[in-house]
A and B are shown apart, each in its own frame.
Chain A
Amino acid sequence: MENERTHIISALVLHKPGVLQRVAGLFTRRGFNIESITVGTSEQEGIARMTIIAKGDGKILEQITKQLNKIIDVIKVRDLEPEKTVKRELCLIKVHTPTEKIRSEVIQYANIFRGRIIDVSPETLTIEITGASDKIDALIDLVKTFGIKEIARTGPTAMSRGIKTI
């Protein structure tokens, strides 16, 4: 039996009310472990793409994909191979920056991580950063010492490298 690992599941679904509930409900009901789920429009009108990050061994993953496929509003499901997949996450971090010194330090960190400052107030800076989840984790770790007011993460979205599509 294959060991438990994190899987990136990409699914094309009909873009209509209730689809997210059907998918999320399935995970709860069957006891599957879900880490994140992102949904948005796809290249085709009326069809949305879901990226699900889930944990499990080979048998569980097989059940997840088969059960997802049984949902009438789900059109296609694929478990993306991690090494042949690009995966990105967006994160907004509001950092407490009461002094000029802290502010410039935070800006420097943001630059190193190719983040952008998208909002400034006398007390705070808000960083926008995109990338792999571990890169975002690293930046969060760095700025934590200054005091993080708020974090909003999207969870990863992903697609296969090269010409391959699902």
Chain B
Amino acid sequence: MRGGEALIKSLKDQEVDVVFGYPGGVLLPLYDVIYDSDMRHILVRHEQCAAHAADGYARASGKVGVCIGTSGPGATNLVTGIATAYMDSSPIVAIAGQVATGLIGNDAFQEVDTIGMTMPITKHNFQPMNSQEIPEIIKTAFYIAGTGRPGPVVVDLPKDVQEQELDMDKEVRIDLPGYKPTRKGHPLQIKRAANLIANSKKPVILAGGGVILSGSSEELIKLAGIIDAPVVTSLLGKGSFPEDHPFSLGMLGMHGTKTSNYMVDECDCLIAVGCRFSDRTTGNVAEFAKNAKIIHIDIDPAEIGKNVEVDIPIVGDAKITLSSLIKALNQNNTSGNTDEWMKYVQNFKRSSSPRTSFNDVPLKPQQVIKEIMNATDEETIVTTDVGLNQMWMAHYFKVKHPRTFLSSGGLGTMGFGFPAAMGAKVAKPETDVVAICGDGGFLMVSQDLATIKEYDIPVVICILDNRYLGMVAQWQKLFYEKRLSHTHLGEVPDFVKLAEAFGVSAYRVEKPGEVQETLKNAINSGEPTLIDITIDPEEILPMVPPGCGLTEMVGEYKIEIESADGVPYYREAEERAGD
């Protein structure tokens, strides 16, 4: 057997059922193997989309996603997607072609130092120098990508290695003396945490992406129920806790809900699970949860104490650690401790829920997102791009299940939403998948309309089209005297015509009520569809300016209050939120 065949066989041994890729010169031997293989290969139209699709596949399914790109520009194009996966702890294996071993270092055609280039954005990377190493490297790559704190692994595969014969009967072992993730939290620390929680009067739980990665939503819900504590999430934590649950306060941080930001500010005990306290989550660290003792559960010891000083660190897998914590808490009598706090939290939440219904034309994004929610069911997977579209979704869209809200958090990669949706749909063909994009981000990856058409991957793309680089324009409006430097994106393209050029059905929507109807029809059609939604370019989202504490929000925060007879009425907040 040759190296290329060994690679495909090794992927199959890892139960890989699909790869997203783009061939090239040095990958000819591998693609010649794929030609005869029953391995499903999806030809994307740009390598960045292969990486994002593999990432979307991984986030939707929990399995390791695989992407392939050729040497040189293929590998550099993969880099953005790999870095995106790295920042959000998403398990992918990226296979990059490399020039033949004899040419490495000679600045050969399409040669780039993929290993050096991807070192800081991967969990690990490999370069097999002879084909005999392939089975072991692939097995190890999947093990590293999918265990501990997940992340991307790169395999840099020279051309001649794909052609060399090897012996496939040799035993394949994983030998990693330097890699032993701690899964079980320290019992003494868990006991200390349980005591702290039992004695707290105003606890808040902060759930991050780690809860989703470890599959511990059930434990999280149980924990919140036992201690009677509200739950806030980071962006990547959306879906870890059902957002229609009365205890859910929504996302925390720079673009978080007012309730989350204020309650974290006031709490006396913050139980952070599987999150890394990013600057977008904490605001000014010196002001963050300043009245609280902080418990931090994370599988990556390096995240503990990195950004925020914590009182009780617990290194471990969230699922295992939360189970132990729940057991420890059951031995403490906690009932009734937080009654007053919960009443206060619920009142605060009710009186500061953001208004979501608007009849305006052009459409308000809040209204659009409400209609998207009405058109989808709770199993629907939504992906977002990056910018205002993402933050509006994070703020207003209620997610009920893990792995149904996929968004590029850490790296903030524009262009993520559409290809990630493509990957998610391939992973979960029976589930509806909707990509919520901005016009800027979608245009960065629009060539992959060809992919969803050719392979009949029926994702629905909703473009929140304001013709602005909305988030950057918002900052310019708030902090740079409204000097909108290069954030207006002009009048072209016509997204409907663009989609139609690829044979993808497309609709333009401009009035209230149309989003819901058009989206519902698009989902039911079972065909790839694009919906271009014209929205109000002036609408911005209240935010915490960089360097400020979480309660120092600026921007108008429109409040929705339910009156006694259950009919909602609206009150424009007269003062600026936070005053």
Binding site for B on A (CB under 8 A): 13-14, 18, 21-22, 25-26, 29, 59, 62-63, 66-67, 69-76
Contact = CB atoms under 8 A, between A and B. Distances in A.
11 contacts: A14-B178, A21-B116, A22-B119, A25-B120, A26-B120, A62-B305, A67-B302, A72-B144, A72-B179, A74-B178, A75-B177
A75 B306 contact: no
Given A14-B178, A71-B178, A72-B124, A63 B119 contact: no
Interface in B103-158: 115-116, 119-120, 123-124, 144
B113 to A, nearest CB: 10
Pick the most buried of A59, A70, A76: most chain B CB atoms within 10 A of its CB. A70
Given A72-B179, A75-B178, A66 B123 contact: no
Nearest to A26: B120
B300 A70 contact: yes
Interface of B: 115-116, 119-120, 123-124, 144, 176-179, 300-302, 305-306
A42 to B, nearest CB: 13
Given A21-B119, A72-B124, A14 B301 contact: no
Contacts of B305: 59, 62-63
B301 A66 contact: yes
B87 to A, nearest CB: 13
A73 B300 CA distance: 17
Contact of A72 (B116, B123, B300, B306): B123
A59 B309 CA distance: 10
A14 B177 contact: yes
A29 B120 contact: yes
Nearest to B303: A66
A154 B94 CA distance: 38
Contact of A25 (B119, B124, B301, B306): B119
A71 B144 CA distance: 11
B300 A63 contact: no
Contacts, number: 37
A21 B56 CA distance: 31
A22 B119 CA distance: 7
A-B complex: 5 closest residue pairs judged by Cβ atoms: A66-B302, A75-B178, A72-B124, A75-B177, A72-B179
A4 B98 CA distance: 44
A22 B109 CA distance: 26
Contacts of B123: 72
A23 B306 CA distance: 19
A59 B120 CA distance: 22
A13 B178 CA distance: 8
A47 to B, nearest CB: 8
Given A70-B300, A71-B178, A72-B123, A63 B144 contact: no
A151 B179 CA distance: 39
Contacts of B178: 13-14, 71-76
Contact of B301 (A22, A69, A76): A69
Contacts of B177: 14, 75
Contacts of B300: 70
A14 B179 CA distance: 12
Contacts of B120: 25-26, 29
B401 to A, nearest CB: 31
Nearest to A59: B305
Nearest to B148: A70
A73 B306 CA distance: 22
Contacts of A74: 178
Contacts of B301: 66, 69
Nearest to B305: A62
Contacts of B119: 18, 21-22, 25
A33 to B, nearest CB: 17
A14 B301 CA distance: 21
B409 to A, nearest CB: 20
Given A29-B120, A67-B302, A72-B178, 8 more contacts: A14-B178, A25-B120, A62-B305, A63-B302, A63-B306, A66-B301, A66-B302, A72-B124
B339 to A, nearest CB: 38
B278 to A, nearest CB: 16
A21 B115 CA distance: 10
A162 B523 CA distance: 71
Contacts of B306: 63
Contacts of A66: 301-302
A18 B124 CA distance: 11
B258 to A, nearest CB: 32
Contacts of B116: 21
A59 B123 CA distance: 23
A163 B393 CA distance: 59
A7 B98 CA distance: 39
B40 to A, nearest CB: 30
B300 to A, nearest CB: 7
A59 B391 CA distance: 33
Nearest to B123: A72
A13 B176 CA distance: 11
Nearest to A63: B306
Contacts of B115: 18
Contacts of B302: 63, 66-67, 69-70
B404 to A, nearest CB: 30
A74 B123 CA distance: 13
B345 to A, nearest CB: 33
B117 to A, nearest CB: 11
Contacts of B124: 72-73
A66 B304 CA distance: 10
A76 B180 CA distance: 11
Contacts of A76: 178
A158 B144 CA distance: 32
Nearest to B125: A18
A71 B115 CA distance: 14
B177 to A, nearest CB: 5
Nearest to A74: B178
Contacts of B144: 72
A54 B276 CA distance: 25
A13 B179 CA distance: 12
